[in-house]
């Protein structure tokens, strides 16, 4: 364990979670959005972070990735023994936090290949471009196409592929199925299952709760900026009342 781990934390003990968000409080200006959120994730686990529109899911991911907004006023974020809460977003990214935002941020004027290459200009490097094309053959077939002209599903693959080009320890996916046709959702689901089988620690935020729960090991449900459920994904799949109350599915 790195020396930054404070002695009062459980770092170094066999129970230390790989990832932990502890008592996060975050604001946009005066708006108090994330209200004491805590959860932890084991290495290789997939956690579905669910909740209604406006529950605070994107804000929680952004607070974890140390984006400038929302502003984290209290709480700790630990990844593999590193205190992310003391860092800026670029440092967190260097330590392996990859946030794939809802809008996917494909860079205009660059081909698929150049988009991935750009992610690989600075260490720590992750997967090779060949490995990424192996996972997403469609990207390989379209490597010379301009990234922004890809279909929505292909752009999602490119956004995930680009994240994997860095040495990712924690993959944060914000609505990867958003706006995609069911058949494309299935294709992305199969790919994410492959990523899971490779042992990638992942948080998936999704309106399509059932799809996210089918992929995930665990689920955390947010409501008005607070955690109202933390348990197994299967428990949520089995509990229609819980889904109705907080997810409306
Ligand atoms: N930049 C911002 N400035 C002010 N308020 C914001 C900002 N971004 C989000 N909010 C507010 O914070 C609350 C939580 O938003 P957030 O985007 O985290 O929700 P969400 O759970 O991701 O919702 P959705 O499912 O609709 O994506 C909302 O009330 C939203 O209006
Ligand atoms: Mg959101």
How confident is the prediction along the chain (249 residues), in pLDDT tens digits per residue? 344 444 444 444 556 799 999 999 999 999 999 999 999 999 999 999 999 999 999 999 999 999 999 999 999 999 999 999 999 999 999 999 999 998 888 999 999 999 999 988 888 889 999 999 999 999 999 999 999 999 999 999 999 999 999 989 999 999 999 989 999 999 899 989 988 888 899 999 999 999 999 999 999 999 999 999 999 999 999 999 999 999 987
For ligand 1, atom 2: residue with the closest CA = 28
Determine if the peptide bond prior to 124 is cis (ω within 30°): yes
What stretches of 113-225 adopt beta strand conformation (E)? 170-174, 202-205, 218-223
Site to probe by mutation for ligand 1, drawn from 25, 30, 59, 224 as the one with most ligand atoms within 8 Å of Cβ, is: 59
Cα distances (angstroms) measured from residue 134 to each of 72, 140, 215: 38, 8, 21
Report yes or no: 222 and 56 within 8 Å, Cβ to Cβ.
yes
> Which CATH number applies to 43-55+90-246?
3.40.50.300
For ligand 1, atom 4: residue with the closest CA = 28
Interstrand relation of 202-205 and 170-174 (parallel, antiparallel or unpaired): parallel
Q: Which residues line ligand 1 (CB under 6 A)?
A: 28, 31, 33, 51, 53-59, 69, 207
For 227, the token pair is: 């955690």
At residue 12, the pLDDT reads 46
CA 6 / ligand 2 centre spacing (Å): 32
For 23, the token pair is: 């008592």
Characterize 142-181 residue by residue with b for buried, 16 or more Cβ atoms within 10 angstroms of its Cβ, and e for exposed.
bbeebbeebeebbbbbbbbbbbbbbebbbbbbbbbbbebe
């Amino acid at each position: 364990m790195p020396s930054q781990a404070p002695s009062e934390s459980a770092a170094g003990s066999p129970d230390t979670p790989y990832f932990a968000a502890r008592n996060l409080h975050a604001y946009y200006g005066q708006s108090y959005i994330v209200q004491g959120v805590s959860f932890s994730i084991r290495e290789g686990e997939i956690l579905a972070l669910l909740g209604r529109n406006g529950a605070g899911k994107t804000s929680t991911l952004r607070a974890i990735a140390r984006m400038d907004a929302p502003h984290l006023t209290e709480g700790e974020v630990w990844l593999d023994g590193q205190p992310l809460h003391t860092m800026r977003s670029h440092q967190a990214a260097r330590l392996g936090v990859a946030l794939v935002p809802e809008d996917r941020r494909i860079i205009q004027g660059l081909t698929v290949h150049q988009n991935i290459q750009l992610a690989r200009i600075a260490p720590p490097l992750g997967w090779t471009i060949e490995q990424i094309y192996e996972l997403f053959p469609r990207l390989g077939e379209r490597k010379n196409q301009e990234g922004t002209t890809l279909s929505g599903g292909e752009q999602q693959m490119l956004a995930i592929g680009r994240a994997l080009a860095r040495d990712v320890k924690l993959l944060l996916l914000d609505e990867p199925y958003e706006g995609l046709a069911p058949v494309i959702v299935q294709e992305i689901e199969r790919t994410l299952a492959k990523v899971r089988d490779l042992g990638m620690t992942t948080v998936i935020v999704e309106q399509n709760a059932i799809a996210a729960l089918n992929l995930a090991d665990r689920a955390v449900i947010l409501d008005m900026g607070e955690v109202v459920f933390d348990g197994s994904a299967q428990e949520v799949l089995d509990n229609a009342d819980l889904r109705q109350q907080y997810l409306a599915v």
